[in-house]
Amino acid sequence: MTSPPNKARSNDDLIVDNRKARHDFFIEESLECGLALTGTEVKSLRGHRANLRDSYARIKDGEAYLHGVHISAYAPAGQFSHPEMRPRKLLMHRRQIDRLWGRVRERGYSLVPLRLYFKNGRAKVELALAKGKRMYDKREAIARKTTNREIERMMKSRRN
């Protein structure tokens, strides 16, 4: 069985998706960043052993770092495995970092990782510039989803 050509944004290479971020934040824009990882971290990521919940990015001294990402220890490495919760450097162009830093200084904006994936054999993270939702925004989004789901059910039953 062969893979389809041009599998852009396929879920085959997806490691982990941060669905909670889409619920808790309004996503203004997103960009792709590389990650500086050790060998055992890459091995763990290939086994889908990562968690993006409660993770965020921070810019310090002109460099971007990803905090709060849990990449499980690689068992065959034994004592030589990596620390699971260390800050990981994001690989971005200087211009991108400066633009994000200008936006993050505004009140209410955060840098949130949306998903972690492999692209051409390299680990990438989709980083989003996001603004936090209020509780009423979250309730409104849930209500909108349920009404859309009910409408789809009604349309489906009408078609049959």
What pLDDT is attached to residue 77? 84
Q: In this structure, what CATH number is given to the domain that contains residue 128?
A: 2.40.280.10
Residue 53: inside a domain, yes or no?
yes
Look at residue 150 and give its three-state secondary structure. helix
Structural domain count, the chain: 1
Residue 33: inside a domain, yes or no?
yes
**Tens digits of per-residue pLDDT, 85-114?**
899 999 999 999 999 998 888 777 889 999
The domain of 39 spans: 12-133
Residue 127: inside a domain, yes or no?
yes
Residue 155: inside a domain, yes or no?
no
Residue reference for tokens 């049959």: 160
With 50 as the cut, is the pLDDT of residue 4 above it?
A: no
Residue 78 CA from chain centroid, whole number: 28
Q: What's the whole-model pTM score?
A: 0.74
Angle at 48 between CA 21 and CA 109, to 5 degrees: 20
Residue 35: closest CA among 115, 101, 139: 115
